[in-house]
């Protein structure tokens, strides 16, 4: 199955109209900083949201002042333009308490040129349904104004209905069992596009030594051993504090969307640099999403080495994060082609591990052995018994274990069980999810 990227919805408006309050209301959590001072939202904020069965990314943006020449206003303008480019639907928020403002007309004209669906939201109407001030905003020429009070939540359901109605239709993709989506991820300028070009044998992507050349995720198919591999080359992902340029910020969003689409992720690391915490965080993002993972140490041709260099590097990498202890690591050079095509075999191996299903009798035999070898600790003075287990799902493998005390299984014991499953069955490059249930199915 070729998965689609989740659509994105950007909330846009002049300063202090309540965009962040609306963002938090939709998400049901205080994620954005809310303060009654214009310009508080400087860095963009995005998170997954869901309404009426549709999932999408909601993007909070800074207050837009189109004609201001102040450095902060110019930076926010660039960021909002990037948000518009990235989004499928635009939510234009205006202040119903203050009424129509000259900036509203300027922003409306800017959004109209984007050719994106626009949902006009009139905020701060706290006495709904008595207030009728939203009708004044028909003058913007953007269609029906939707009244809302982000503080109380009144009207937010109608706004979300309008947003969902404007999301792109979910195209029915063919259920092609031989198709795998492979996201090539990593920090900027580690050689992702060069690596994919070497795999494909032609220059399909722009390659530059300037970090951030790849702004969009690009899908390219490759047929290998009867399988269709869809390579998603992505923009680099940096730490949030380093994302100063608007385009880099939205590259992070594109990378997150690519990970969500992927079956297997190739995490490229620059062999000429120390392993960064950001490399490890990107790996965690892929594993948390349930993807298979392969670490590709690129630019290996530039490293001075002997016969022990790769062994030492691999040991250091695996000791840096527990989750990398069972992830394949391969040393390549996109420039020379060294071991690049061996990655294709690894992709197929990890994809097969991701769909591995363990028969219930085998699973329970091993569970019994693991419990006998190392019983779980007592819980509130009572022994904890592992009653039985079953594999509830694949992609990723999910094992449900039933016990008499579901709250009595500590994390370290779950790790012990996971290690036992891996020693027996491998699951190389694949996250295992273990869920604990009580006798009657309670958590």
Q: Examine domains 179-354 and 360-437 and report if their fold is the same.
A: no
| Residue corresponding to tokens 């996201």 | 183
Instruction: Determine the straight-line distance between the first and last CA of the chain, rounded to whole angstroms.
Output: 31
State the pLDDT at residue 77.
Answer: 82
Domain ranges of the chain: 8-166, 179-354, 360-437
State the pLDDT at residue 401.
Answer: 95
State the pLDDT at residue 238.
Answer: 42
- The CATH topology of domain 8-166 is Rossmann fold (3.40.50)
Q: Tens place of pLDDT for every residue, the chain, 443 residues?
A: 456 667 889 999 999 898 888 888 887 755 444 444 444 444 446 777 888 888 888 888 888 888 888 887 887 787 788 788 878 999 999 999 899 999 999 999 999 999 999 999 999 998 877 778 889 999 999 999 999 998 888 888 999 999 999 998 865 444 456 789 999 888 777 778 788 888 877 544 444 444 443 334 456 778 888 888 888 866 544 444 443 444 455 556 667 778 888 999 999 999 888 888 888 888 898 999 999 999 999 999 988 888 788 999 999 999 888 889 999 999 998 888 889 899 999 999 999 999 999 999 999 999 999 999 999 999 988 999 999 999 999 989 999 999 999 999 999 999 999 999 999 999 999 999 999 999 765 55
State the pLDDT at residue 85.
Answer: 82
Q: Are 253 and 238 in contact (CB under 8 A)?
A: no
Angle between helices 71-86 and 246-261 (to 10 degrees): 30
State the pLDDT at residue 427.
Answer: 95
* CATH fourth-level superfamily of 179-354: P-loop containing nucleotide triphosphate hydrolases (3.40.50.300)
State the pLDDT at residue 250.
Answer: 54
State the pLDDT at residue 178.
Answer: 75
Whether domain 360-437 has CATH 3.30.300.20: the reply is: yes
State the pLDDT at residue 329.
Answer: 95
To the nearest 10°, report the CA torsion of 132, 135, 137, 141. 170
């Amino acid at each position: 199955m070729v998965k689609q990227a989740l659509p994105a919805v950007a909330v846009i408006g002049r300063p202090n109209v309540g965009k962040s309050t609306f963002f938090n209301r939709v998400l049901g959590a205080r994620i954005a900083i809310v303060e009654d001072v214009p310009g508080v939202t400087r860095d963009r904020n995005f998170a997954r949201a869901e309404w009426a069965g549709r999932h999408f990314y909601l993007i909070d943006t800074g207050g837009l002042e189109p004609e201001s020449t102040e450095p902060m206003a110019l930076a926010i303008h660039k960021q909002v333009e990037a948000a518009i480019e990235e989004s499928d639907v635009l939510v234009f928020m205006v202040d119903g308490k203050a009424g129509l403002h000259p900036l509203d007309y300027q922003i409306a004209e800017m959004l109209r040129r984007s050719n994106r669906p626009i949902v006009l939201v009139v905020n701060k109407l706290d006495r709904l349904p008595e207030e009728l001030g939203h009708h004044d905003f028909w003058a913007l020429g953007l269609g029906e104004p939707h009244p809302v009070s982000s503080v109380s939540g009144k009207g937010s359901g109608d706004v979300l209905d309008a947003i969902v109605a404007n999301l792109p239709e979910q195209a029915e993709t063919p259920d092609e069992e031989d198709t795998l989506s492979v996201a090539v991820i990593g920090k900027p300028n580690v050689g992702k596009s060069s690596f994919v070009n070497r795999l494909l044998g032609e220059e399909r992507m722009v390659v530059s030594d300037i970090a951030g050349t790849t702004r969009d995720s690009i899908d390219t198919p490759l047929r290998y051993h009867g399988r269709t591999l869809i390579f998603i080359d992505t923009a680099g992902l940096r730490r949030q504090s380093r994302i100063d340029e608007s385009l880099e910020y939205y590259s992070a969003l594109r990378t997150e969307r690519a990970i969500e689409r992927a079956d297997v992720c190739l995490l490229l690391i620059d062999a000429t640099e120390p392993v960064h915490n950001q490399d490890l965080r990107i790996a965690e993002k892929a594993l948390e999403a349930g993807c298979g993972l392969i670490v590709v140490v690129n630019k290996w041709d530039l490293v001075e080495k002997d016969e022990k260099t790769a062994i030492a590097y691999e040991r250091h990498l695996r000791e840096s994060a527990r989750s990398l202890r069972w992830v394949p690591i391969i040393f390549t050079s996109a420039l020379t082609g060294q071991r690049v095509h061996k990655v294709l075999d690894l992709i197929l191996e990890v994809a097969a591990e991701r769909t591995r299903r363990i028969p219930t009798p085998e699973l329970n035999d091993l569970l019994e052995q693991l419990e006998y070898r190392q019983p779980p600790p007592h819980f509130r003075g009572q022994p904890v018994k592992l009653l039985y287990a079953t594999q509830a799902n694949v992609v990723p493998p999910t094992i449900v274990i039933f016990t008499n005390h579901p709250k009595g299984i500590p994390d370290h014991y779950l790790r012990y069980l996971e290690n036992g499953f891996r020693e027996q069955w491998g699951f190389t490059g694949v996250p295992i999810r273990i869920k604990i249930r009580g006798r009657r199915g309670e958590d």
